[in-house]
């Protein structure tokens, strides 16, 4: 059973702080990793993806991947109340189009 795990939260951070969201996965063959944001009552939207070990930055967001540890994280700098949402980690295997989603971490940014 391929699994993706996330702390369900809620994770509360003050406005302006760095929010750190973590995700672990079980399938060592996984090759692509994605972060989605889902606001309450809305569908998920893609924030960013990462394939290679290391960091990938996009604006206030930084994805970090460590394949040896089977760990991927998302950092949100200068957190804003509008960042309050559930963040979903998704992992794609080496073949096919099978995406496995984690349960999501609920982030609350306090003004």
Partner 1 sequence: GAVVSQHPSWVICKSGTSVKIECRSLDFQATTMFWYRQFPKQSLMLMATSNEGSKATYEQGVEKDKFLINHASLTLSTLTVTSAHPEDSSFYICSAYRRGEGNTIYFGEGSWLTVV
Which residue in 77, 107, 83 sits closest to 9, CA to CA?
Answer: 107
Mention every residue, 6+ apart, whose C-beta is less than 8 A from residue 3: 25, 26, 27, 100
Contact flag: residue 52 with partner 1 (CB under 8 A): no
Shortest distance (Å) from residue 1 CB to partner 1: 11
Total of chain residues touching partner 1, rule CB under 8 A: 19
Other C-beta atoms lying within 10 Å of the C-beta of residue 50: 20
Identify which range of 18-26, 31-39, 58-66, 70-78 contacts partner 1 by CB under 8 A: 31-39
For residues 59-98, which are near partner 1 according to CB under 8 A? 88, 90, 92, 97-98
């Amino acid at each position: 059973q391929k699994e993706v795990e996330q702390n369900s939260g809620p994770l509360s951070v003050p406005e302006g702080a760095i929010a750190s969201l973590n995700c672990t996965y079980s399938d060592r063959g996984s090759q692509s990793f994605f972060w989605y944001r889902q606001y309450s009552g809305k569908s998920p939207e893609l924030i960013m993806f990462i394939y290679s070990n290391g960091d990938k930055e996009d604006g206030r967001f930084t994805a970090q991947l460590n394949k040896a540890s089977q760990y991927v994280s998302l950092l949100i700098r200068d957190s804003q109340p509008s960042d309050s949402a559930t963040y979903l980690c998704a992992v794609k295997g080496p073949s096919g189009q099978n995406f496995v989603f984690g349960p999501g971490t609920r982030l609350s940014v306090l003004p």
